[in-house]
Amino acid sequence: METGKTYQNMLCVDNMKVVKLTKSICDEFVTKKHYSKRASIFWAGFGLIEDNMITGVVVYGQPSPAIQKYAFEDREFRLYELSRLVVQSKTKNAPSFLIANSMKMLESPCAIVSYSDMEYNHSGIIYQATNWLYTGSTISHDHMYLVEGVRVHSMSLRDKGITSPKTWAKENNIQTVKPFAKHRYFQFVGDKRQKKMMVNKLKYDIIKEYPKSEKTMYDSGEDLNIKLNESTLTNFFN
């Protein structure tokens, strides 16, 4: 197989390749390895493959209604949210390789928004390293709930069958707490003209100076061992 060449649903460079994965494979990685422990809305997912093993996944999904409505002026292109990134590879620059090459397999032109959660002391180092545009921070309108000393998102409660977290919290004397702010970044896919057009339609101010924080790593547990065989590769495609 040639290196540095893009195939349908696959991009190969040296000993690493990025392939399009099904939701079920991505969800397994996310629910077991991502700090949120929950899957997100899924539009497209891609895996980093090394020695026929899946060593990382990135998931693109649907942004919030607010960001879809207000981020751009007269938007006529797809807007994704890079909602989950999990990389267990020890290879240098593996996360940036996965992000950069997965974006090449999204429809073009398109824009991508992603967030870095200040609750976990994240400033978006991976987005800074891959030249995303920083547009400041934002705070979700959703509340967090302090359950047995742990901050829990309302979506996590809904995943457990609690349809009205506010009512449930009030009935069970659960403390409601404000969410932390998140840093917001944008990236664009397309030719030079298309990228310029999308940037010009962006309503947020672009902030030249990136936020800073100490580089931290959370404990994501043991590595998953999910093998991808060339003979069954197409079984992983949507």
pLDDT (tens digit, 9 = 90+) per residue, 52-94? Answer: 899 999 999 999 899 999 999 999 999 999 999 999 998 989 9
Give 155's pLDDT tier (boundaries 50, 70, 90). Answer: low
Q: What is the mean pLDDT of residues 132-155?
A: 77
Please work out, in degrees rounded to the nearest 5, the angle formed at the alpha carbon of residue 63 by the alpha carbons of 19 and 117.
Answer: 90
Of residues 195 and 11, which shows the higher confidence score?
195
Lowest-pLDDT range of 117-121, 209-213, 234-238 = 234-238
Q: What is the mean pLDDT of residues 14-38?
A: 83
* Kind of pairing between the strands at 78-87 and 110-117: parallel
Checking if the pLDDT of 120 tops 80, the result is no
pLDDT at 85: 92
Checking if the pLDDT of 153 tops 80, the result is no
pLDDT at 231: 35
Report domain 10-139+181-236's class.
alpha beta
pLDDT at 161: 78
User: What are the extents of the domains in the chain?
Assistant: 10-139+181-236, 141-179
pLDDT at 59: 96
Residues in the chain, overall count: 238
The segment with the largest mean pLDDT, out of 10-24, 56-70, 113-127, 133-147, is 56-70
pLDDT at 229: 52
98 HSE (CA, 13 A, CB side): 29
Checking if the pLDDT of 158 tops 80, the result is no
pLDDT at 233: 46
As a whole number, the mean pLDDT across the chain is: 83
Residues 6+ apart with CB under 8 A from 141: none
Lowest-pLDDT range of 2-11, 37-46, 107-116, 229-238 = 229-238
Q: Which two tokens stand for residue 155?
A: 């979506």
pTM for this model (two decimals): 0.79
* pLDDT per residue as tens digits for the range 167-202: 888 888 887 877 788 999 999 999 999 999 999 999
